[in-house]
Copies of this chain bind each other. A is one copy, B any other.
Amino acid sequence: MAVTIRDVAKASGVHISTVSRTFSAPHLVNPETRTRVLATAEELGYRPNRAARALITGRTHNIGLIVADIANPFFPPMIKAAETHARRRDYHVFVADTDEDPVVETDLVRALAKQVDGILLCSPRMSDDQIEQLRREVPLVVVNRLIDGLPAVVMDVGAGARSAVRHLVGLGHRHLVYLSGPRGSWTNREIRKAAGAAARSGGAELTVLGPHQPISSAGADAAETVLATGATAVLAYNDLMAVGLLQSLQDRGVAVPERVSVVGFDDIATSALVRPTLTTVANPTAAAGRAAVDMLLQQGDDGATGQVSLRTDLVIRNSTGPGPYAPAGATTAEVAAYAKE
């Protein structure tokens, strides 16, 4: 059916090993022979069978990319960047969605293991132990979570949370709320810790609400509780929740940012499209995808297990404004400038 190395060999009058070498070790074959083989290969439409090659070399030139939820707008840019980057290095990418289920995660890693050279585990929800176990079965790079001894790419959400809190405190807010994300999320823990510390050192109070599903309806549902705390500023686990909260507050006639300021995380596309536009901590998700791919592909060479932390950036838009303790008469821009350390 399909044209194989054998067909090319026959058609060009050489042994199959010569054809093989023409493709995988060109310097070992006479330039003349090589061009002849390449010509007939082209003519016949021959393409090497990667699966067969993998069988003997042990390298599949495939990688796996496992995420909690493809439809969560946080992931697509990362998937896209990782796929493009991998393809440029001649790797194909399996993408799988776990629906935030740790059991599915484990099964998926095992199922994919034999078919890939390594797996990118994005925002995994399983325990550290499970991940370390899997790491023994297949090369792994963890994204959005730090585990001792495991290669990882994370966004520095701690720093992001700190600048967000400083921004809010600088604007004159003294009582903040943190809208937690899902249980088991490393990112969530980091943000909570960093925000708590930053609030304390800024002389502000931080009320933690949650856990919540990382979706907009959860943000909307939290509006009532948020208002009940009497806080004047909210930091949300992600933009989806922040946007949900934003809309819900507006529906209740609560002015943003006049009465409540809102800050999100991720800077998904929607955040610049809602009104008021959302102040948020931008994560370099595309860069993270690329870095993770690089790390995975280098893993074979040395055994070094790097851990990189990528810079996050506070993007100040219109959902944050002066709070009750703001310097009199200051505008958002002026006060915000002060927050820039």
Contact B275 A273 (CB under 8 A): no
Which of A112-120, A173-181, A194-202, A333-341 contacts its partner? A112-120
Residues of B within 8 A of A28 (CB): none
Complex Cα gap A90–B108 (Å): 11
Contact A76 B80 (CB under 8 A): no
Residues of B within 8 A of A35 (CB): none
Contact B96 A51 (CB under 8 A): no
Which of A6-14, A67-75, A152-160, A224-232 contacts its partner? A67-75
Contact B55 A80 (CB under 8 A): no
**Interface assignment of A103: CB less than 8 Å from any CB of chain B:** no
Given contact pairs A96-B92, A216-B273, A77 touches B71 in the complex (Cβ within 8 A): yes
Contact A60 B70 (CB under 8 A): no
Complex Cα gap A60–B93 (Å): 15
**Shortest Cβ distance from residue A287 to the other chain B in the assembled complex, whole angstroms:** 14
Complex Cα gap A93–B144 (Å): 23
Residue from B52, B110, B273 within 8 A of A270 (CB atoms): B273
Q: Which parts of A76-112 form the interface with B (CB within 8 Å)?
A: 76-77, 79-80, 83-84, 87, 92-97, 99, 110-112
Residues of B within 8 A of A80 (CB): 69-71, 97
Residues of B within 8 A of A110 (CB): 47
Residues of B within 8 A of A94 (CB): 62, 92-95
A1 nearest CB neighbor, chain B only: B58
Residues of B within 8 A of A216 (CB): 269, 273
Q: 5 smallest A-B Cβ distances: which pairs?
A: A95-B95, A70-B80, A51-B51, A270-B270, A71-B76
Q: Can you list 21 A-B pairs with a CB-CB distance of less than 8 A?
A: A2-B114, A48-B114, A50-B114, A50-B115, A51-B51, A51-B114, A62-B94, A62-B115, A69-B80, A70-B80, A83-B96, A87-B96, A92-B94, A92-B111, A93-B96, A94-B94, A216-B273, A243-B273, A250-B275, A270-B270, A273-B273
